[in-house]
Amino acid sequence: MYVRDYSSRKYIIIGLLVLVALIFIVRLFYLQVIDNRYKLSAKNIVLRYEKQYPARGNIYDRNGQLLVYNEALYDLMVIPGQVKNLDTAAFCTLLQIDTTFFRSRMELAKHYSNYRPSVFLKQISKEEFGAIQEKLYQCPGFYPVTRTLRHYPVPVAPHVLGNVGEVSQQEINTHPYYQPGDYIGKSGIEKYYEPELRGVKGMKILEVDVHNRVKGSYQNGKYDTAAIPGKDLILSIDANLQQYGEQLMQNKKGSIVAINPNTGEILVMISSPAYDPNMLVGRQRSVNFELLLNDTLKPLLNRAVMGTYPPGSTFKMINALVALQEHAITPNTMFTCQGKKSRPIKCTHTHISPLGLKQAIQESCNSYFWNTFKNTLNLPKYNDPKVGYEHWYNDIKSFGFGSKFNTDIPYEVSGNIPSPAYYDKVYNGRWNALTVRSLSIGQGEILVTPLQLANLVAIIANNGYYYEPHFLRKIENLPDDSTLFGKKIWTAVEPKYFNVAREAMLEVFEAEHGTARWYKMDSIHQCGKTGTVQNPHGEDHSMFIAFAPYKNPQIAIAVVVENSGYGSTWAAPIASLLMEKYLTGEVKRIRYEKKMLEGDLIHNKGKDK
């Protein structure tokens, strides 16, 4: 009988077993010695990954005064999957919260992730955290992260500086850099310069024991990344002047914008009523925001760039300049005025007649500027008032009206200069100078912002050009703002025509019948123009534009005080006091200052005129 010999096969089986063993040994060696991914994964249960939030950049005024800085605080983070054997009652007592809040926050955290950290309680002050820190080791799954909170040592310019708040889901979707719980600039300079101010987040990996106590950095910080602090900003705002202007505007509705005409730097931007920027900081932010939002006085509205007004008599300056440029008048052109009997636009008062351009500006004569506007549109060389209007429209637009400056000014609106197409649509193509005569005195469909008016004054001070209005002077470790906002922009009106306007504005303060003669300074020559703006919703607005000194101007200013009557009553003295404060460092005209500081046009309507 034949018997098969299988003895040789045992070597094949042994060889296969040895091969498999070798494969396992090599693979284990690779995983345990060469590739440490699984080692790191296994250690995740005892490693804590803490985001390192950078210090947000500080903000200073033009003189180095600190406007915004950071205060340390803490967010309490939670990893729901690690929360075990927690004494809930003791924990709630420690944090001074109730069990309902605890359960809702835990549900929210679990919904986000059971294994990834999320914020349980945010913005805990240093004082509060001192008591919590001592017992936090007894609370597995909870740990603190150091954060910062904005603080405003001088509570001024809230509309300019803006505020910081927690990112929304929409902001996270738009900017992948942010994650839930991060903070972002919500408005103002904080929002516009967010990339520069926020810095760059880092990461620290810590080893913790089973009691959630930190034992040290993982591998001596080999895998840590340091946070990069945000950059400091120096703004053009003069904090002392801003604070003084806000005091003058207390209990009044309106705005002030002051510009350095030599640079376009905004020295002052005030919207009143305002609010303390510290109100929109910390855990009370949302509550205070709702209060401000529902306030009937609209303190959140930045009237300086979002408020639009008919410019009234202040617009006569630009109508005169355009008429000179278009050769519709000369400085010596004279028109008659019959005061309140004038037609088709009556004048506000009786004065010398006939009168020339300088006198017309001093007297703010409606009849003169109606005739000036009519001549501009009816120039024989255009043979059609609509063509004349189109030239007028383009000249006006060159002054920055009807459009945004698009610099670092928050929430700016463009205002309105009605186009020829608009009137074609409204009047079915049949219109002329008489139809739109209200534009001659700055009424009708014209709407401007106080910022645009301040820029107009800067143009007159500069004899025909301006720099884009802006806030930034310097970013830390970068060149000054000249690389960003240093462009000189010329208007359509030649420089030679501006001198007559400057001289006429000087007479507003200097002449015997000048509308701001009461506020003349002894040592400094001021130039201005009053405006009393018709308001279809109530009492007239008081408006004033000015610059000083007459030679070598350093400040151009526009003031609007809503529902307060004549331009010379409130807006003119406020503008003059601010120019005195800026140019001399002190105010000597105490009588006018006292009246402006004490004047209450909100609670005592009609009593302070």
Higher-confidence position of 468 and 484? 468
pTM over 0.75, yes/no = yes
pLDDT in tens, 239-290: 999 999 999 999 999 999 999 999 999 999 999 999 999 999 887 888 999 9
Q: pLDDT category, 36, cuts 50, 70, 90?
A: low
Strand partners, 124: 74
Query: 């002030």: which residue's tokens?
Result: 256
Q: What is the dihedral of CA 499, 503, 504, 506, to 10 degrees?
A: 140
- DSSP H or E run through 261: none
Evaluate whether 166 touches 150 at the Cβ level (below 8 Å): no
CB atoms within 10 A of CB 482: 12
Q: Are strands 59-60 and 233-235 parallel, antiparallel or unpaired?
A: parallel
d(CA 513, CA 531): 16
CB atoms within 10 A of CB 220: 8
d(CA 503, CA 529): 11
- DSSP H or E run through 308: none
The confidence score (pLDDT) of residue 375 equals: 96
pLDDT in tens, 234-243: 999 999 999 9
The residues of the chain that CATH labels 3.40.710.10 are: 239-598
List Cα–Cα distances, 246 to 82, 218, 273, 377, in angstroms: 52, 53, 9, 42
d(CA 216, CA 208): 7
Evaluate whether 449 touches 412 at the Cβ level (below 8 Å): yes
Evaluate whether 414 touches 426 at the Cβ level (below 8 Å): no
Residue 212: pLDDT over 70: no
Give every strand in the sheet of 527-533, ordered side by side: 265-272, 254-260, 555-561, 541-548, 527-533
Q: pLDDT category, 482, cuts 50, 70, 90?
A: very low
Mean pLDDT, rounded, of the chain: 89
Cis previous bond, 385, omega within 30? no
**Which residues are CB-neighbours of 136 under 8 A, at least 6 positions away?**
142, 143, 144, 212
Reduced to 3 DSSP states, what percent helix, strand and coil does the chain have, rounded to the nearest 5? 40, 20, 40
Phi and psi at residue 497, in whole multiples of 5°?
-90, -10
d(CA 582, CA 576): 10
Domain 47-235 fold is Penicillin-binding protein 2a (Domain 2) (3.90.1310)
d(CA 526, CA 511): 12
The residues of the chain that CATH labels 3.90.1310.10 are: 47-235
d(CA 251, CA 595): 12
pLDDT in tens, 385-406: 999 999 999 999 999 999 999 8
pLDDT in tens, 539-582: 788 899 999 999 999 999 999 999 877 778 899 999 999 999 99
Residue 91: pLDDT over 60: yes
Residue 299: pLDDT over 60: yes
Q: How far is CA 169 from the centre of its chain?
A: 23
Phi and psi at residue 241, in whole multiples of 5°?
-70, -40
Q: What secondary structure does DSSP assign to 482-520, as a single string?
A: HHHH--EEE-SS-GGGHHHHHHHHHHHHHSTT-TTGGG-
d(CA 54, CA 32): 36
The confidence score (pLDDT) of residue 5 equals: 58
Q: What secondary structure does DSSP assign to 355-414, as a single string?
A: B-HHHHHHHT-HHHHHHHHHHHHT-TTTSSHHHHHHHHHHHHHTTTTTS---SS-TT---
- Superfamily per CATH, domain 239-598: DD-peptidase/beta-lactamase superfamily (3.40.710.10)
Evaluate whether 270 touches 560 at the Cβ level (below 8 Å): no
pLDDT in tens, 551-562: 999 999 999 999
Mean pLDDT of 38-50: 61
Mean pLDDT of 480-499: 83
